[in-house]
Amino acid sequence: MSISTTLEERLTELEVRFAFLEETVVVLNRTVAEHDRVLGHLREEFRRLRSELGVVRSSLSHDPATEPPPPHY
pLDDT digits (tens, 9 = 90+) for 30-59: 999 999 999 999 999 999 999 999 998 888
pTM, two decimal places: 0.61
The answer to whether position 13 is within a domain reads: no
Residue 68 zone, left/alpha/beta (φ > 0; ψ -120 to 50; rest): beta
The answer to whether position 28 is within a domain reads: yes
Residue 11: CA atoms inside 13 Å, Cβ hemisphere, count? 6
Residues of the domain holding 45: 22-50
The answer to whether position 46 is within a domain reads: yes
The answer to whether position 56 is within a domain reads: no
pLDDT attached to residue 34:
98
The answer to whether position 5 is within a domain reads: no
Number of domain units in the chain: 1
Which of residues 15 and 1 earns the better pLDDT score?
Answer: 15
Specify the DSSP element, H or E, that contains 59. helix 3-60
